[in-house]
């Protein structure tokens, strides 16, 4: 038996019990609300964790990049949504070839005529049927059609009439919920996304074009919302681990967090304890979507008091290999002490390491490969 105190640092720990509890909790929520769960695997990039989600009842997975999606198609996931606007033929062709080989239902998104034409050309050349979601901007102002733009209806009609493509439905990411002030505001962003998609679905179907699915996705939105009226699937990702964003919003407690970084105090000075976890393992993210709404870069706990919030300290600054932990009178640390850190953004942390260390309480169980780590193409 190996105690986590005996592991070299810095490394990323994943608590098995909390991980499974988070997966089951979201699946039960989706089942109760009558929606499908298609988790976004950019959070964990792990075949092992994807298998846990599928076993719990997920209908497939969501991915961001084509090379990331390829890992899970090859692993045997039978339904994958590539929730990123692909405009390069080579990427689309590679995914179609893999989908053919592994009998996978592949869903694309588009938010431009250029993107649609690219997908169409490759599908026609390959003689392979695929589905397309129209990506709708519901307030994040990143990607997606303006829901009031007449191009949406035109695109729906073009897809509906195509030989090899079918309209999967409408898809949105209410990512503005990450910048919400509290759970109530996060729920408001999610409700707005639902209303926008419902209204747009009605307008399209008035033209006798069926819109089978309405898909939304964000962990704050999914956690904050109980009813998903007319929505058919949700695509949260971060919920498997949790981090400081759902904590800040009042949607999770420190005890719910499955992913932490363990580190060692290597030095100290008048103002700070210095640990061996810097930006190369914690990232310098201060909130989802570049939101600067979280103070510092992590919550620090002495190993033997985690997750007692009365004993936590703030990781205030980072350099590449060092973390600067603000000293306070309530919690004393010594050089050589091990600590656990709740990061600001778990998704960014996972992509910085090759391996996750699965633990049960204070006992190390095994390592998990970050299967799609660095898959950025």
> Is omega for the bond preceding 58 within 30 degrees of 0, making it cis?
no
**pLDDT, tens digit (0-9, with 9 covering 90-100), for 277-290:** 999 999 998 876 66
Q: How do the domains of the chain map onto residue ranges?
A: 2-12+250-369, 17-241
Residue 259 pLDDT class (50, 70, 90 cuts):
very high
Q: What is the pLDDT of residue 288?
A: 66
Q: What is the pLDDT of residue 293?
A: 76
CATH number for the region 17-241 comes to 3.20.20.10
Q: What is the pLDDT of residue 287?
A: 72
Mean pLDDT of 307-335: 94
Asked whether the beta carbons of 48 and 369 are under 8 A apart, the reply is yes
Mean pLDDT of 261-276: 97
* Number of residues that this document lists for the chain: 377
Mean pLDDT of 167-179: 94
Topology (CATH level 3) of domain 2-12+250-369: Lyase, Ornithine Decarboxylase; Chain A, domain 1 (2.40.37)
Residue 338 pLDDT class (50, 70, 90 cuts):
very high
Mean pLDDT of 15-32: 98
For residue 214, what are the contacts with CB-CB under 8 A and spacing of at least 6? 169, 170, 171, 194, 197, 198, 201, 230, 231, 232, 233
Token pair recorded at residue 150: 């007449």
Residue 330 pLDDT class (50, 70, 90 cuts):
confident
Q: Which residue has the higher pLDDT, 330 or 268?
A: 268
Residue 144 pLDDT class (50, 70, 90 cuts):
very high
- State pTM to two decimals: 0.95
CA neighbor of 294 nearest in space, from 255, 246, 338, 262:
246
Residue 291 pLDDT class (50, 70, 90 cuts):
low
DSSP tally for the chain: helices H, then strands E: 11, 18
Cα 315 to Cα 327: distance, rounded to the nearest angstrom: 10
DSSP 86-136: ---HHHHHHHHHHHHHHT-EEEEEESSHHHHHHHHHHHHHHT--EEEEEEB
Segment (H or E) for 303: none
Segment (H or E) for 343: strand 338-343
Average pLDDT, the chain: 95
User: Is the pLDDT reported for residue 122 higher than 90?
Assistant: yes
Segment (H or E) for 172: strand 165-172
Mean pLDDT of 183-200: 95
**pLDDT, tens digit (0-9, with 9 covering 90-100), for 31-56:** 999 999 999 999 999 999 999 999 99
Question: CA triplet 179, 183, 185: central angle to 5 degrees?
Answer: 60
* Burial zone of 173 (CB within 10 Å; 0-12 exposed, 13-18 middle, 19+ buried): buried
């Amino acid at each position: 038996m190996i105690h986590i105190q005996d592991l070299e640092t810095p490394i990323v720990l994943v608590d098995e019990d909390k991980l499974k509890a988070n997966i089951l909790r979201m699946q039960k929520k989706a089942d109760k609300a009558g929606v499908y769960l298609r988790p976004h695997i950019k959070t964990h990039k792990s075949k092992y964790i994807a298998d846990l989600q599928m076993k719990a009842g997920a209908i497939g997975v969501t991915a961001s990049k084509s090379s990331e999606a390829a890992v899970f198609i090859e692993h045997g996931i039978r339904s994958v949504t590539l929730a990123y606007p692909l405009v390069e033929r080579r990427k689309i062709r590679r995914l179609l070839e893999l989908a053919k080989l592994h009998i996978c239902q592949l869903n694309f998104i588009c938010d431009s005529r250029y993107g649609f034409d690219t997908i169409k050309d490759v599908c026609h050349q390959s003689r392979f049927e695929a589905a397309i979601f129209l990506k709708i901007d519901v307030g994040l102002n990143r990607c997606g059609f303006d829901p009031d733009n007449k191009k949406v209806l035109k695109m729906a009609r073009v897809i509906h009439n195509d030989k090899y493509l079918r309209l999967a439905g409408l898809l949105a990411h209410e990512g503005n919920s990450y910048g919400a002030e509290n759970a109530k505001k996060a729920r408001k962003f999610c409700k707005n996304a639902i209303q926008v998609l419902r209204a747009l679905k009605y307008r399209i179907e008035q033209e006798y074009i069926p819109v089978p699915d309405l898909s939304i996705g964000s962990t704050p939105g999914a956690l904050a919302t109980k009813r998903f009226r007319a929505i058919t699937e949700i695509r949260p990702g971060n919920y498997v681990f949790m981090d400081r964003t759902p904590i800040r919003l009042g949607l999770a407690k420190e005890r719910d967090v499955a992913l932490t970084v363990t580190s060692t105090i290597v030095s100290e000075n008048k103002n700070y304890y210095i640990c061996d976890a810097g930006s190369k393992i914690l990232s310098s993210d201060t909130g989802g979507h570049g939101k600067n709404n979280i103070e510092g870069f992590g919550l620090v706990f002495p190993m033997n008091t985690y997750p007692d919030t009365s004993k936590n300290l703030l990781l205030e600054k980072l350099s590449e290999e060092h973390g600067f932990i603000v000293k306070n009178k309530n919690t004393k640390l010594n050089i050589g002490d091990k600590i656990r850190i709740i990061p600001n953004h778990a998704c960014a942390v996972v992509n910085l390491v090759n391996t996750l260390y699965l633990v049960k309480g204070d006992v190390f169980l095994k390592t998990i490969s970050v299967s799609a780590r660095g898959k950025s193409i």
